[in-house]
Amino acid sequence: MRGALIAIEGLDRTGKTTQTERLLVKLKELNIKHKLVKFPKRDTQIGNLINTYLTEKSFQLSDQAAHLLFSANRWEIIDEIKKELQGGTVVILDRYVYSGVAYSAAKGLDFQWCLNPDVGLPKPDLTVFLQFKQSENASRTGFGDERYEVAEFQEKVKLLFENFSTNSEWSPLYVDGLTIDQVHEEIWSLFKQYLEGLDEDLQVF
Ligand code: NYM
């Protein structure tokens, strides 16, 4: 039986990385094979370029070129992810196609144009979308260090993420006022049904 493909999505600094790590600890405790893939995956050559783009404002790229790099960064590792899934490993994605489309479309690029390069990538079985009130999100530590981490831009991204809310695997999680443990419990209860492994094929975008 294949492993589940689970994506954790959300705006910047909403606690995605903390929650993916908590999920991994839990899977380890239960002796369930698991792998985390964080997008952008910065330790490849394409990922290195993306990292420079995100952290050095002097590195100029057209919005289209940047978008295609983010997509290429997913395609370059997808065979490895599929292999893990086929071997029964649960794969947790920290950001995925949805971030790719929402962040680029927020810059004014056409929504469908943004989705096109990702067409054919596997769809997660479950996508948990972490949401905060913008004011709370903006006050989190580190907000503002990288390109895109500007409150006004984040508001646009938030609206674009809403386009995905009709997807059957999309589970929004409102985490305002909840502790890290409480958010973890919520994510775990959504995720539990996928623990047994799944034998049907993955859907694709
Ligand atoms: N981002 C992430 C994109 O613009 N397109 C993408 O396809 C992906 C995966 O990268 N501000 C943006 C969203 C974030 C930034 O992500 C870095 P993180 O999770 O902060 O490392």
Q: In ligand 1, which atom is closest to the CA atom of 71?
A: 7
Mean pLDDT for 143-152 is: 75
pLDDT at 65 over 80: yes
Number of domains in the chain: 1
Residues contacting ligand 1 via CB (< 6 Å): 12, 39-40, 54, 70, 95, 99-100, 103, 146, 148
Is 137 inside any structural domain? Answer: yes
pLDDT at 140 over 90: no
Is 200 inside any structural domain? Answer: no
Q: Taking the C-alpha atoms of 9, 69, 109 and 153 in order, what is their torsion angle to the nearest 10 degrees? A: 50
Q: Which of 128, 70, 110, 112 minimizes the C-alpha distance to 205? A: 112
pLDDT at 146 over 90: no
When mean pLDDT is compared across 105-109, 142-146, 201-205, the lowest value belongs to 142-146
What's the pLDDT score for residue 47? 98
pLDDT at 142 over 60: no
Handedness of CA 125, 131, 137, 141 (dihedral sign): negative
CATH of the domain at 59: 3.40.50.300
Statement: the pTM of the whole predicted model exceeds 0.90 = yes
Q: For 7-41, write each residue's pLDDT tens digit.
A: 999 988 889 999 999 999 999 999 999 999 999 99
Contacts of 132 (CB under 8 A, 6+ apart): 11, 14, 175, 176
Is 121 inside any structural domain? Answer: yes
* Mean of per-residue pLDDT scores for the chain: 92
Residue bearing the CA closest to ligand 1, atom 21:
40
pLDDT at 143 over 80: no
Can you tell me the distance from the alpha carbon of 61 to that of 74, in angstroms, rounded to the nearest whole number? Answer: 19
Q: Supply the range of the domain harboring residue 18.
A: 5-194
Is 201 inside any structural domain? Answer: no
Backbone angles phi, psi at 63, to 5 degrees: -60, -35
Can you tell me the distance from the alpha carbon of 124 to that of 203, in angstroms, rounded to the nearest whole number? Answer: 8
Task: Tell me how far the alpha carbon of residue 78 lies from the centroid of ligand 1, in angstroms.
Answer: 17
Is 39 inside any structural domain? Answer: yes
pLDDT at 134 over 70: no
